[in-house]
Amino acid sequence: MSATAIAFPNIALIKYWGKRDEALIIPQTSSLSLTLAVYPTTTTVSLLSESAPHEVLQDGAPMPQAAAAKVARFLDHVAELAGTTRAARVETSNAGPTGAGLASSASGFAALAAAASAAYGLDLSPRDLSRLARRGSGSASRSIFGGFAVWNAGSDDLTSYAEPVDDARIDAAMVLGIVNAGAKPISSRDAMRRTVETSPYNAPWVATNPTELAFMRDALRRGDFTAVGEISERNALRMHAAMLGAVPPVRYLTAGSMALLDAVAELRNTGLEAYATMDAGPNVKTLCRSAEAASVRDALAAAAPGIEFVIAEAGPGVSVSDHGVSVSGQGPTAIAGPGAPR
């Protein structure tokens, strides 16, 4: 009747950008990400009486209308899967900034999928939980799992899900450079639709994905940090190239983002291996070896004074507890995927 879930954001190294099915959120291409150990979303779902409308609260206040409507549609879908028309009350809070390209929708819908499915009495496998989270927000499918996860594009609702990458042999962290924590000017959903519909660079973006993903998986398996970093950085730049080709262009990167890209390249010249990745916002995330994360943060902070940098180690998959009491009796339990790779 009531369940609480905690989920963490993930940052893609091979990006998801563009859907082939808008309603079911089936992506054009597969993607691969690292779940982080910072900025979790905590969400409690409690069932209400049959006739009530859904109630959606964020940090104790009603969630803004458009976002609340998206959550309500998701709850309708979960209720339908459970064979009921009962409404629910959702209380959610993000430890990090919302809608700033720091994957709040990934942690948000992963936590909502886990809490809602538990509250409605669905007993889902990790794969089915990932499929459910995908219906809320594509990238949420990956936040069901800890560490590295791959979202197989698939071709329909049954075949489009994420799963853990369990043979990765690198110990990576990210240094998040918060260029701007404000909400993005255009939602990633609208921006990726515009890219698919109008950018001449969408087709090559899609065509090169299988090889890039295969290179990435091979580099992870070999523990080749340099290759992982190089593939990640070029993949992010290619995604931004695809969106820059849209009509009108979609440009999330700012002068502050570019200055950080320069700073990351300069770090490499000094022998610290660091690679940049950027999402639907101006913030720059720097991939580095976990053991060098503090050095990378200090070097970036010296190069870009005034920007806040946060070290994010690899994080766990979603965890859920019923009635505030852990399922395992030892605090919220990871119900899917491996913990952070060490």
CB of 162 to ligand 2P0, least distance (A): 11
199 sits near ligand 2P0 (criterion: CB under 6 A): no
Identify residue 331 by its one-letter amino acid code.
G
Token pair for residue 280? 């639907």
Pick the stretch among 11-19, 207-215, 316-324, 330-338 that binds ligand 2P0 (CB under 6 A): 11-19
- Residue 9's nearest CA partner among 91, 110, 152, 151 is 110
Q: How far apart are CA 233 and CA 153, in angstroms?
A: 21
189 sits near ligand 2P0 (criterion: CB under 6 A): yes
Q: How far apart are CA 292 and CA 311, in angstroms?
A: 10
The correct pick among 6, 7, 8, 15 for binding ligand 2P0 (CB under 6 A) is 15
- Residue 199's nearest CA partner among 138, 240, 145, 154 is 240
Contact pattern for ligand 2P0 over residues 91 through 110, marking x by CB under 6 A: --------------x-----
25 sits near ligand 2P0 (criterion: CB under 6 A): yes
For ligand 2P0, the closer CB: 114 or 280:
280
188 sits near ligand 2P0 (criterion: CB under 6 A): yes
Give the number of residues written for the chain.
342
Asked if residues 220 and 168 have their Cβ atoms less than 8 Å apart, the reply is yes
In the complex, which residue's CB is closest to ligand 2P0? 138
Asked if residues 181 and 100 have their Cβ atoms less than 8 Å apart, the reply is yes
Asked if residues 115 and 22 have their Cβ atoms less than 8 Å apart, the reply is no
253 sits near ligand 2P0 (criterion: CB under 6 A): no
Q: How far apart are CA 130 and CA 334, in angstroms?
A: 14
Is cis: bond before 282, omega within 30 of 0?
no
Pick the stretch among 10-18, 35-43, 194-202, 265-273 that binds ligand 2P0 (CB under 6 A): 10-18
16 sits near ligand 2P0 (criterion: CB under 6 A): yes
Contact pattern for ligand 2P0 over residues 125 through 164, marking x by CB under 6 A: ------------xxx-------------------------
The footprint of ligand 2P0 (CB under 6 A) covers: 12, 15-17, 25, 31, 105, 137-139, 188-189, 279-280
